Amino acid sequence: MRPYKYKSTGIFFHYQRGERLKDFPSALEGILDKDNITYCDALYDFPPDSIYDIPPVPLSELYQVHSSLMVEQVKQTGSYEGVLYSVSGTLSAAEKVCLGKITNAFVFTGYGDHHAGRNFFGGGCYFNGAAIAAHIIKKTYSVKRIAVIDTDAHHGDGSWDIFENNPDVLYLCFCSGRSYEKNKNVNINVPNNINDKNYLDLAEKAFEKHINPHEPEIIFWNWGYDGTIGDYGDIGLTPEFHSMLALKIRRLAEEVCAGRLITVLCGGSRRDFAYKLIPKIIKVLAHLEDPT
């Protein structure tokens, strides 16, 4: 285990279309002024008073993860620019973690990662931000072993496709599919109706069995809240569940990789949940307030 000292948490934000994140960044009041918070934002769609300090994604790297045909198809969707901002937030977070400028991060995205594969996309996902960031930090910062934890309610078919032949990346997907594994891609079956405690127990066991032995140098967490009671992937989780899971994953990262953790917002549609849950997750990441 590396010596661990928490330094700070990065928040990566871009202004975007849609209802879900309308309350942000103002809902981060009381968090952004803390000494251990680094706030990076990008402009998109309309320009409030903010500083563009998330560098764009190197486009050549997109083609290392996705086929050129797919990149062309995404360009036709009208979401291309917003998708690039989402990916650049994740990449920028990973680079700042690798450089030791921040310990962990929360990335606001407009589009998810995990239904974007090498040559297909769907379900509100266009490019796979965690996969692109993983690819670049492996190359640029000599990071070898990476873990991607996916707790969105649905199966990450795109991430599975991209990581399937890459034993350096452990992809751990919690979803309703059967439990099986192949080449460090691991699927953990989550019952369609589960309570908070049983999910947390399931996660703990899976982390011990798969993440710890992999000894990742950095962890990406594709966090979705769509499994919350009343959202579109409802599997019976309460809103309180998410900060408890965040604490477990933060502690896991502290135990195995010096706290290096990138939390990427994925599924979930409700604006009231976003307003309530995201600040709590960030407070956990930033050691400001642990759930009781």
Residues within the interface to Zn ion (CB under 5 A) = 152-155, 173, 175, 177, 187, 224, 226, 233, 267
Count Cβ atoms below 10 Å from residue 33 Cβ, excluding itself. 9
Q: Please state the closest distance from residue 155 (CB atom) to Zn ion, in A.
A: 3
Closest distance to Zn ion from the beta carbon of 46 (Å): 28
Q: Which is nearer to Zn ion, 181 or 289 (CB)?
A: 181
Of the two residues 63 and 232, which places its CB atom closer to Zn ion in the complex? 232
3-state SS class at 182:
strand
Radius of gyration of the chain (CA): 17
DSSP 187-249: EEE--SS--HHHHHHHHHHHIIIIIHHH--SEEEEEE--TTBTTSTT--SB-TTHHHHHHHHH
CB of 227 to Zn ion, least distance (A): 8
Q: How far apart are the C-alpha atoms of 34 and 288, rounded to whole Å? A: 9
Angle at 71 between CA 69 and CA 75, to 5 degrees: 115
Q: Shortest gap between Cβ of 224 and Zn ion (angstroms)?
A: 5
Residue nearer to Zn ion on the CB measure, 50 or 269:
269
CA 160 – CA 165 distance, rounded (Å): 9
**Least distance CB 225 / Zn ion (angstroms):** 9
Question: Whose Cβ is closer to Zn ion: residue 129's or residue 224's?
Answer: 224
Q: How many CB atoms lie within 10 A of CB 109?
A: 25
